């Protein structure tokens, strides 16, 4: 039985036979609550570490927006597509498809590009280098198509981005921008949406049990490291 440490990664459904449409087992509630607490505290920690935009130089503010754009504009749909390829439950599939439709139909990459242009923060070569290694780690993690860790990573990111948008918008305002469509669209705090993501996670855990040694928080931790680099910057690695 799950014993309070969400990193133990032990789930009691391994070996159970289930159809692709599953009723989320009630036994899972304690585990899910513990996992959700861990995700929430990771989000709280990241947000608490953000600097005050008013205290940053213009170049620091530009750099954060540029590195965020360098990561999200070209990768978020790839991450979601990886998640779609990995999952098996109807709950997770429909949630991811809904998100992908919105991303493509409303062209969120274009929305983000307009946000960066208006803040004079289009990523430069050095912005791309600054995030390269941490972004590569997330890409390779997604490429392993491991369903439960990926869905958990998505749940973490969805929760994070809603609360990060106010900070991103403030950076842009300090840079003289009034283009806020991207931050307005992504800054809506949607409790139902978050609950649905955790329901998807529970369904996926039931249908694709993870091995005991699997770190289900691996992707979330890689993404946290990447977000730290977005905010703090990193020296460009040597080209050789
Ligand atoms: Fe989006």
pLDDT of residue 31: 79
Question: pLDDT at position 235, please?
Answer: 58
- Give the span between the Cα atoms of 26 and 46, in whole angstroms: 31
Range of the domain at 181: 26-232
**Rounded Cα gap, residues 29 and 41, in angstroms:** 18
Query: 17 φ, ψ to 5°?
Result: -95, 125
The answer to whether position 110 is within a domain reads yes
Q: What percent of the chain has pLDDT over 90?
A: 72
Determine, yes or no, domain membership for 20.
Answer: no
Ligand 1 centroid, distance to 18 Cα (angstroms): 33
Distance 34 CA to ligand 1 centre (A): 27
103 alpha carbon – ligand 1 mean position (Å): 5
How do residues 80-137 score in pLDDT, each as one tens digit? 999 999 999 999 999 999 999 999 999 999 999 999 999 999 999 999 999 999 999 9
Average pLDDT over residues 199-221: 90
On whether residue 6 sits in a domain, the answer given is no
Is residue 13 situated within a structural domain? Answer: no
- So what's the pLDDT on residue 238? 55
**CA 55 – ligand 1 centroid, Å:** 28
Mean confidence (pLDDT) of the chain: 86
CA dist list (Å): 214 to 54, 100, 180: 42, 27, 40
CB atoms within 10 A of CB 17: 4
Residue 14 inside a domain? The answer is no
Helix axes 125-143 and 58-86, enclosed angle (nearest 10):
20
Tell me the pLDDT tens digit for each residue of 173-192: 999 999 999 999 999 877 77
**188 lies in some domain:** yes
**184 alpha carbon – ligand 1 mean position (Å):** 11
99 CA from centroid of ligand 1 (Å): 8
Q: How many domains does the chain have?
A: 1
Burial group, residue 193, by CB count within 10 angstroms (0-12, 13-18, 19+): middle
Is 11 a domain residue?
Answer: no
More confident residue, 128 or 17: 128
Counting Cα atoms < 13 Å in the Cβ hemisphere of 87 gives 31
DSSP secondary structure letters along 5-41: -GGG---TTTT----SS-PPPTTHHHHHHHHHHHHHH
Q: Domain containing 207 — which CATH number?
A: 1.20.910.10
């Amino acid at each position: 039985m799950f014993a309070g440490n969400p990193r133990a990664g032990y789930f009691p459904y391994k070996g159970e036979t289930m159809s692709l449409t599953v009723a989320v087992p009630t036994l899972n509630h304690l585990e899910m609550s513990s996992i959700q607490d861990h995700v929430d505290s990771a989000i709280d920690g990241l947000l608490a570490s953000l600097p005050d935009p008013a205290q940053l130089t213009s170049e620091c503010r530009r750099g954060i927006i540029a590195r965020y754009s360098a990561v999200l504009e070209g990768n978020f749909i790839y991450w979601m597509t990886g998640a779609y390829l990995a999952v098996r439950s109807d709950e997770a599939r429909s949630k991811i498809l809904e998100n992908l439709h919105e991303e493509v139909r409303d062209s969120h990459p274009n929305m983000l590009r307009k946000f960066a242009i208006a803040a004079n923060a289009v990523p430069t070569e050095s912005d791309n280098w600054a995030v390269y290694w941490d972004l590569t780690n997330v890409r390779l993690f997604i490429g392993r198509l491991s369903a439960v860790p990926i869905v958990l990573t998505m749940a973490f990111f969805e929760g994070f981005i809603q609360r990060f948008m106010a900070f991103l918008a403030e950076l842009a305002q300090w840079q003289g921008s009034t283009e806020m469509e991207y931050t307005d669209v992504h800054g809506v705090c949607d409790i139902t949406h978050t609950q649905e993501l955790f329901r998807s996670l529970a369904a996926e855990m039931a249908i694709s049990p993870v091995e005991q040694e699997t770190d289900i928080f691996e992707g979330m931790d890689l993404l946290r490291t990447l977000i730290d680099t977005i905010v703090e910057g990193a020296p460009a690695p040597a080209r050789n």
